[in-house]
Structure 1
Amino acid sequence: MAVQPGGGAPDPLWSYTSKADFGSSNLAVAGGRVYVVSDRLTAVDAATGAVAWNGEYIDGLLAAAGGGLVFVGSPNSLTGYDQATGKSAWRPRYSGPSSPSYSLVQALCADDELAYGITWGQNGLNGQATKLVAWSIESGVESWSQELRPGQQRYGVQHGLRDGRIYHNDGQFTIIARSTKDGQQLWSTPTGADFAITPVTDGDRLYCLAGKDGLQALSTATGSRQLLIRQKGGADGSFGQVTAVNGVVYGFPGDQSVCAWSAKTGEQLWECPLPFRPSDVNQPVLVQNTLFVVGTGIDGVTAVDAGSGAIRWRFRTDPLSSPSEEWALTTDGRRLFAGLGTTLFALPAS
């Protein structure tokens, strides 16, 4: 995919092109590699862009990395591939006479002990059931599972994982905190919203929507509201995706801009107007002192100074070769990895 000149953007550090499209969530980073899910699982060296290995052909649904494996969901199971070799090395194990019948398994995330996914399958006379499941990476045995409430869409489970807890929304747009050890529900808080963003935590607080009032910060200990961030001037309106790092919340207040707010007081620190509406799917990504924001297709990737809110540069691909799709974003803390269509670019942090 050709790069459009102009915009002040530096040249990509490298680019990799797959044979098939990969979606906006089909990237994972671990062990100095970027794992790309398209028609097969591929490991790309994060520093050089060289292909470390090409795995088997897969019908893959999202990727997550942990415990030395890359987990990829599929229409009927979850598979863990060895990060070093790409070989299939893990599958769920079941103690019953037969394995469950799933029509879809979606990889969510993983830590060093558990792999988490969403299963969509049959539940007797009740028809199809959606469950949040945690499997042991060591044994493959299901550690715990929890059924999600009716109304939850297959791909609509927004989630976050930190400090021994997994946070997720359910079918009624309630935020739930669970212990990763046993799946026990620690608290639940209705958001009052009619859609969900990815719940983000900075440790003590979790950020999610507050109906049409704005963005709220909940205590990660109790689920009680600690802070409300409203639209400029106190107007009603829904927020888009956010991220929270080092005492600052960065996010989209529902228009063509990205803003920064104090995580302590909710005070707006800066606002950066954008020439496009930010993506509803991708969170802003902070890499060192640069905040990266994307729209769709030819909107490209915009680098914003995280301290001042000033635009540093815009990276865009040629309009004639750019699909009108969501970008895929992830980072290893040193570089931004941005994918569109069949091409993955590595971009510098400044």
Structure 2
Amino acid sequence: MAPAEPTPASPRTAAAAPAAAISDLSEELPSGEGPVESSSDVVAGRPDHVRPTRRTLVAAGAAGAAVLGLGLYARGFSRPDPPPRLPAPRFTGPAPLWTYRGTERAAPGRLGPGTRAPLFPTAAAVDVLDPATGTRRLRLPLAADGPPAYGSGRSWLLAPTAERVHSLADGRLDGHDLRTGHPDRPVELAALLGGRVTSHTLLGTDGHALICTADLAPTASAGPAEVLFAVDPAAGRLVWSRSRREQDSLLLRTGLLDGRLFALDTGERLVAVDTRDGRTLWRAPAGPSVSWLAPLPDRVCLGVDPGDLRVLAALDGSPLRPPSRPPGATWRYLPPITDGRALYAVRSDGEITALAPEDGRQLWSCTLPYRVDLRSVPLVVGRVLYVPGGADDGVTAVDVADGRTLWTFTDGLPGVDVWWLGTDGERLFAGHDSVLHALPTA
């Protein structure tokens, strides 16, 4: 497979590749002709020259067409037609610094939070791009997804820094150096945990260790076990582990921030775990029908049906006053984000409200030109809030000082996926489907 290459920021005309087809050849011989006498062989020395008959010419032509058809048929197998080229982009908003077109559809769900390098993950590999030019420097293979069992099967990829990525699949932790592509020594979970792993999940990293869960198969002396644990990937050692009792089982709705893991348990409680040693810091009632959780530096926000927001203090789990939602509202609250200056509450109808973190008073509000959902993950870079929408909607930049809409970027390319964002602090990486753009930050 030929490597994908970045395209220049300026639009260009792309001609569609012609589609060739071979039609069936059929021609009836003229009727009313009698048998043809066999002719003498000139090469054998028989001097009688006989003109070829119409039937001979037609037969020869049919044979030639058949040979040509077989040749083209075989050529079609040996040299397949190239895939149709994407149309030229039609940009609105800022001109991209570069545009990368992948050969496959992106799978941004493989990326964990904190990605700083421009990465283009797919179902089978991750392309590591040069941040300045968008050229592909490396292609790192990823293990295939495992069975759709509770707790895993999926091979999550995360890039906590600009130097290294880690993935977990088939009971093994793998790491790669993003600068060289060199693999780290793999870590087998069975040897690490002392049992056969039936499912697993890579929850994230606290900057030092990888936080994971695993289900262990029953043994002759013990039944199945659920384990929450931390691994030092550089040393390949187990930092800590704790078994999860049924009444204390942590669910998959989790979040990592500032050395703490926040997770829901089966008792409808929010649990805070210290990622340095695995001890429980506090438990607090979370209530039923929690659809998502979003940890922030000073609070943990929970999305609860039918779309309300519940807020707990990150220090001890005490309840905090949430922003109000009118009775009968048809929109839902989505996970908010913060930059320390304000809390940006995002609604599914596209309205964003900036709230003062100390007392919750409204600073400003604005409305996006499109609706958003849980797949639209906003990002703050400097003084700008970037909010992605659907493939046709693009990405909108909002000034965090007053809520002014600065621009909405679209590329005019066909697609069905929601835009996904990343940054290295200097550039905004915005992609959907099989393209990734680098945009200047304000």
With the shorter chain as reference, the TM-score category is 0.7 to 0.9
* 1:40 is aligned to 2:125: yes
> 1:27·1:34 contact (CA, 8 Å) conserved in 2?
no
Measure, in 2, the Cα distance between the counterparts of 1:136 and 1:91: 12
Give the equivalent residue in structure 1 for 2:158: 64
Measure, in 2, the Cα distance between the counterparts of 1:307 and 1:98: 50
Identity rate, percent = 25
Q: 2:438 aligns with which of 334, 346, 350?
A: 346
Residues 115-167 of structure 1: per-residue CA shift (max 9 Å, x gap): 1234456456999876543211232223234548699999x5331221x2222
Give the equivalent residue in structure 2 for 1:242: 336
Give the equivalent residue in structure 2 for 1:258: 352
Give the equivalent residue in structure 2 for 1:178: 273
Unaligned runs of 5+ in 1: none
Residues 32 and 241 (structure 1 numbering): CA distance in 2 closer, same or farther, change over 3 Å?
closer
Residues 270 and 209 (structure 1 numbering): CA distance in 2 closer, same or farther, change over 3 Å?
same
Q: Which of the pair is proportionally richer in helix?
A: 2
Give the equivalent residue in structure 2 for 1:225: 319
Measure, in 1, the Cα distance between the counterparts of 2:358 and 2:260: 22
* 1:16 is aligned to 2:100: yes
Q: Secondary structure at the match of 1:255?
A: coil
Q: Secondary structure at the match of 2:253?
A: coil
Matching residue's letter, 2:374: D
Q: Secondary structure at the match of 2:106?
A: coil
Measure, in 2, the Cα distance between the counterparts of 1:97 and 1:25: 27
Measure, in 2, the Cα distance between the counterparts of 1:148 and 1:278: 38
Aligned-pair distance for 1:71?
0.7
- The 5 Å alignment of 1:1-350 reads 5=90, 7=92, 9-27=93-111, 33-38=117-122, 39-56=124-141, 58-59=143-144, 61-66=155-160, 68-93=163-188, 96=191, 100-119=195-214, 122=217, 131-146=227-242, 147=244, 156-162=252-258, 164-170=259-265, 174-202=269-297, 204-209=298-303, 214-231=308-325, 238-318=332-412, 321-322=414-415, 324-350=416-442
> 1:94·1:141 contact (CA, 8 Å) conserved in 2?
no
Measure, in 2, the Cα distance between the counterparts of 1:259 and 1:24: 27
Tell me the C-alpha RMSD between the 2 structures: 3.5
> 2:117·2:159 contact (CA, 8 Å) conserved in 1?
no
Q: Quick check: 212-221 or 42-51, which moved more?
A: 212-221
Measure, in 2, the Cα distance between the counterparts of 1:213 and 1:41: 35
Measure, in 2, the Cα distance between the counterparts of 1:136 and 1:313: 43
Q: Quick check: 228-237 or 51-60, which moved more?
A: 228-237
> 2:108·2:120 contact (CA, 8 Å) conserved in 1?
no
Residues 57 and 73 (structure 1 numbering): CA distance in 2 closer, same or farther, change over 3 Å?
closer
Matching residue's letter, 2:362: Q
Matching residue's letter, 1:138: A
Measure, in 2, the Cα distance between the counterparts of 1:32 and 1:349: 14
Residues 291 and 93 (structure 1 numbering): CA distance in 2 closer, same or farther, change over 3 Å?
same
Report the count of equivalent residues: 344
Unaligned runs of 5+ in 2: 1-85, 146-154
Q: Which of the pair is proportionally richer in strand?
A: 1
Residues 18-46 of structure 1: per-residue CA shift (max 9 Å, x gap): 22222233346889732332121222122
Residues 204-256 of structure 1: per-residue CA shift (max 9 Å, x gap): 33333366584344222211123322226997974112111123111313423
Measure, in 2, the Cα distance between the counterparts of 1:257 and 1:190: 29
Measure, in 2, the Cα distance between the counterparts of 1:148 and 1:41: 37
> 2:115·2:423 contact (CA, 8 Å) conserved in 1?
no
> 1:168·1:177 contact (CA, 8 Å) conserved in 2?
yes
> 2:290·2:304 contact (CA, 8 Å) conserved in 1?
no
Q: Secondary structure at the match of 1:25?
A: helix
